[in-house]
């Protein structure tokens, strides 16, 4: 029996919008629940995947706590807010994984090289083991080269989202299977690619 099909989905810049960092002005992950705004069409896209029988698994790097910028508690509140906004539009994740580590952090217990921080595939591999996912039948969708590299390292196909505010996180060398302007378009593409497989 083959395993389940899953779509691994990045969070910031894929499901919810990036927000300007208060100090640098650069688009970054929201660090307060009130700053969370879903990207139009994202919730509908996740709903469509679920309706088509795909598992949907969130995989997100959240290094701000390791860097001492916010508390892990605040990150958990932001995460809860994303899920709440998705639920309000009838969308949910079957599982979600977060890497809180960073190799150059300041908080000792979160500062290390880990196997879960994308581009490493640890979060995808762990979820696959826990949920019985067949990685070769699965996809990774995200807005940075790291997402594509993590997906490929796990043996998945990949869609890179060309979200404008995160353009600085795409160097053009990651070689995704497809590029889409947003999650809605990525899911449409994925579902049509699966039809011809």
Write out the E strands in the chain: 6-9, 19-20, 27-28, 55-61, 95-99, 139-142, 157-161, 178-180
Q: Is 10 among the residues known to form the active site?
A: yes
CA 35 to each of CA 24, 72, 78, 156: distance values in angstroms, whole numbers, following the listed order: 16, 17, 8, 32
Q: Which of Zn ion, Mg ion, none sits in contact with 13, Cβ below 5 to 8 A by type?
A: Mg ion
**143 is an interface residue for Mg ion by CB under 5 A:** yes
Residue 12, binding choice from Mg ion, Zn ion, none, Cβ under 5 to 8 Å by partner class: Mg ion
Nearer Cβ to Zn ion (79/117): 117
Contacting residue, 5, 6, 8, 13, with Mg ion by CB under 5 A:
13
Q: Considering the complex, state which of residue 13 and residue 176 has its C-beta at the smaller distance from Mg ion.
A: 13
Q: C-alpha distances in angstroms, 99 versus 34, 35, 112? A: 22, 21, 11
Is 95 an annotated catalytic residue? Answer: no
* Helix, strand or coil, per DSSP, at residue 120: coil
Q: Residue 43 or residue 61: which is nearer to Zn ion going by CB?
A: 61
Contact of residue 9 among Mg ion, Zn ion, none (CB under 5-8 Å per partner type): none
User: What residues are annotated to the active site?
Assistant: 10, 12
């Amino acid at each position: 029996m083959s395993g389940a099909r899953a779509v691994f989905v990045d969070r910031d810049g894929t499901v919810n919008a990036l927000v300007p960092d208060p100090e640098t002005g650069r688009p970054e992950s929201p660090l307060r629940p009130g700053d969370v705004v879903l990207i139009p069409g994202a919730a509908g896209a996740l709903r469509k995947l679920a309706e088509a029988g795909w598992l949907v698994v969130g995989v997100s790097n959240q290094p701000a706590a390791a860097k001492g910028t916010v508390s892990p508690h605040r990150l958990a509140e932001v995460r809860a807010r994303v899920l709440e906004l998705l639920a309000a539009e009838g969308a949910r994740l079957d599982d979600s994984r977060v890497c809180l580590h960073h190799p150059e952090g300041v908080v000792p217990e979160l500062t290390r090289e880990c196997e879960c921080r994308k581009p490493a595939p640890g979060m995808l591999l762990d979820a696959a083991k826990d949920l019985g996912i067949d990685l070769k039948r699965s996809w990774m969708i995200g807005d940075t080269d790291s997402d594509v590299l993590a997906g490929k390292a796990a043996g998945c196909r990949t869609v890179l989202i060309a979200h404008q505010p995160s353009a600085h996180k795409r160097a053009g060398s990651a070689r995704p299977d497809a590029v889409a302007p947003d999650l809605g378009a990525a899911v449409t593409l994925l579902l049509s690619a699966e039809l011809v497989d």
